[in-house]
Structure 1
Amino acid sequence: MRRSFAFKCTLLTVAWVLLAIGALQIPPYQLWPAAFVGMSLPVALAATGAWLVYWVLRRWTVALLPLAVLVLTWPHVQRGVALHLLSPAPANGPAVRVLSANVRIFNVYRHLRDENYTTSKALIKWVAEQPADLVCLQEFYNEPQPTRENGRVFQSVQRIGEDQQRHPFVSVTLQNGIGAQFGLAIFSRYPIVHRGTIPFGRLTQNHAMFADVRLPQGDTIRIYNAHLQSMSMAEQDIVDSYSSKAGLKAKGLGLLRRFKRGLVARARQVDTLRRHMDQCRYPILFCADLNDLPYSYTYDQLADKLQNAQATAGNGVGATYNGRLPFVRIDNQFAGPQWQVENFRVHEEIPYSDHFPTSATYRLLPASKQ
């Protein structure tokens, strides 16, 4: 009787896994509650692992069922917790080092800055001195000319670009009264032969940009940089909502509305990105602050076409959010099938923004292996 009940629970868990994977394929603008089913996938996978252990100890033949499910869904397991003990043998193609970071406008606002712009200077200096060939920055900020208040602190295009022999491309979404620029930026040690922006609509400043760069070996590749719709939820509100019943009652409904709006907006934005990428004839590298989790429609649409650097070559959870919410990975790097992902790292030692920078090394595969 007990075994029969356990077997039924195992079957229900398998069904849960399949349902959650299917839910990831549903655009939130068609059926937004499906997003919550998709987000339950890591719990379903963990339960499948627990049933595997249970049946190995009880009846190994039944253990083949949860084992088969985990094997078949291993790419989904790797989205949440990656495990790569051995590095792949490097391919023969050219290597490209990429750095991506949401730099939170280099803490220029008064409520973010500290005395003498210490963290601002440290973050700009760290980014500038990294050995990356391609640098993608979200929430970028630049002051083209020195100002009376800030001096030369925020001349970030010059310091990260020109001073480091990188070609700058800044996509400006807003320019204030002193001429300071807000937006996205790509810096490349290789010549930029073509560039452009991808708007997500007139009602949002979120957008994407791309640059086609020519490698020394003659290959042309495309690098995308994007910042998708924010979750628009304050960290403290989220903490309050799950800390007590009173907090859930006071904050829950408002958080749900904002979460829904973000889900729908990001789904439309990633669809726009996918359509653009589908027209690209070059090997793709993609950096972004997705503002969405690995178990989401947004991530799933990208993972269907591209390989995620953390899932392919990283280890552990790879959390990129620098705050009170644990295990949150919303910053990602992706690469097309023409690339081998050699390594991926989250720079948790750089605490100057609310996002940790990420870096990776990619090697372009020979045409015969693409």
Structure 2
Amino acid sequence: MRRSFAFKFTLLILLWVLAAIACVQIPAHTFWPAAFGALTLPIALAVNVLLVVYWLLRDWRVAALPIVVAVLTWPHFQRGLALHPLHTSSPTGTPGQRIRMLSSNVRIFNVYPQLRDKNLHSSKAMIAWLADNQADILCLQEFYNEPIRTQDGSVFNAVRQIGADKDRHVFLSKTLTNSVGAEFGMAIFTRFPILQRGTINFGRLTQNHAMFVDLLLPSRDTIRVYNVHLQSMSMDERDIVDSYSSKDGFKRKARGLLARYKRGLVARSTQVDTLVQRFERCRYPMLLCADLNDVPYSYAYDQLADHFQNAWATVGNGIGSTYNGALPFVRIDNQFASSQWAVDDFEIHREIPFSDHFPTTGVYQLNKTQSETSK
């Protein structure tokens, strides 16, 4: 009797895993409730691993079922919990083909009054850290720059400090210029010549967008780098914490949070579909930095994972959370690389606490043979 119940329970878990994977692949603009099924996938995968252990102790023949599922779904498992304990970074690479890329949501360098600290310490420290960073390419989201000298212009003239002062080329994609000439948007800084640049707009109702540059490496290879910022859920961290901390908080906050979560899901699903169409037409080796505003078990992440290697899932260890706030275990900042690249290393800079996102650095080695075939 016990064995019969355990076997039926195992079949239910396997069906749960398959259903959750199917939910991950459903775009929210088609059926948004599927996103909640997708969020259960890490739990289903974890239970399946426990079933492997259970049946190996009880009956190895039945254990074959969860083992097969675990093997087939291992890439999905790695999305949420990367395991590469034996991976070591190679300090060398082919000259001109080894790239170090940094990505960071800089939260407009804390320029707003509610974000500022004494003597603008975090703003100055963040810009100085980026300016002195040894990365070959810097992709920055929620960028802010004051090209016209204002009271704090010497602090917030980020294009000059990170770009011209450090002999970097820059592409600033502006979504807004305010009354004093301050610029908001995203930016790419690089030591490599920029051959071509462009933006990908997601519509008139959002400032979120993507940008790209084609770069000429010292090896004479041309690569394309995308910098992406998908739609925010516009959900205040305090509201989320309040919604699950008490019954009263849930009643007051849940409906509004759900509505905002739905709007974000739908927007991101259409935005990532727009991007994928562009990726499929690109003939160069690609690197991508993205603030997805979504977790690894989402449609947006899944679409990118179908076309790219995720750097953390390829070489990282652990959950790889990048959100610097009260919500634990949240990885919404990612770097991706097309198949022409080998991912050598990936680091999350938790020692840099100046924004609500931790910066990330990836190291990539271009496969010469594959890069030649893409030309």
Residue 60 of structure 1 and its aligned partner are, at CA, apart by 1.9
Matched, 1:53 2:67: no
* Equivalent residue, structure 2, for 1:124: 127
| Paired residues of 2:340 and 2:370 also in contact (CA < 8 A) | no
Q: 1:232 & 1:151 partners in 2: Cα distance?
A: 29
| Paired residues of 1:145 and 1:152 also in contact (CA < 8 A) | no
Residue 67 of structure 1 and its aligned partner are, at CA, apart by 1.3
Aligned 1:217-232 pairs, distance under 5 A:
217-232=219-234
* Partner amino acid, structure 2, of 1:196: G
* Partner amino acid, structure 1, of 2:369: A
Residue 89 of structure 1 and its aligned partner are, at CA, apart by 7.8
* Partner amino acid, structure 2, of 1:161: G
SS at match of 1:30: helix
Q: 1:151 & 1:251 partners in 2: Cα distance?
A: 39
Aligned 1:87-106 pairs, distance under 5 A:
87=87, 92=94, 94-106=97-109
SS at match of 2:114: coil
Q: 1:346 & 1:170 partners in 2: Cα distance?
A: 24
* Partner amino acid, structure 1, of 2:174: V
Q: 1:89 & 1:261 partners in 2: Cα distance?
A: 40
Aligned 1:1-370 pairs, distance under 5 A:
1-87=1-87, 92=94, 94-147=97-150, 149-367=151-369
TM-score after normalising by structure 1: 0.98
Residue 88 of structure 1 and its aligned partner are, at CA, apart by 6.2
SS at match of 1:349: coil
Q: 2:217 & 2:370 partners in 1: Cα distance?
A: 19
SS at match of 2:156: coil
| Paired residues of 2:146 and 2:153 also in contact (CA < 8 A) | no
Output one character per residue of 1:86-124: Cα deviation in whole Å (capped at 9) or x when no partner.
236856471000000000000011100111110000000
* Partner amino acid, structure 2, of 1:77: F
Number of equivalenced pairs: 369
TM-score after normalising by structure 2: 0.96
SS at match of 1:16: helix
Residue 358 of structure 1 and its aligned partner are, at CA, apart by 0.4
- Deviates further, 182-191 or 242-251: 242-251
* Partner amino acid, structure 2, of 1:62: V
Q: 1:3 & 1:87 partners in 2: Cα distance?
A: 40
Output one character per residue of 1:313-345: Cα deviation in whole Å (capped at 9) or x when no partner.
111111000000000000110000000000111
* Aligned residues: CA RMSD: 1.3
- Deviates further, 124-133 or 85-94: 85-94
Residue 146 of structure 1 and its aligned partner are, at CA, apart by 2.2
SS at match of 1:131: coil
Identity of aligned pairs, percent? 63
Q: 1:244 & 1:116 partners in 2: Cα distance?
A: 38
Unpaired runs of at least 5, structure 2: none
Q: 1:172 & 1:327 partners in 2: Cα distance?
A: 31
- Label 1:236 to 1:89 Cα distance change in 2 as closer, same or farther (>3 A): closer
Output one character per residue of 1:260-294: Cα deviation in whole Å (capped at 9) or x when no partner.
00000000000011111111110010001100010
- Label 1:319 to 1:169 Cα distance change in 2 as closer, same or farther (>3 A): same
Residue 141 of structure 1 and its aligned partner are, at CA, apart by 0.3
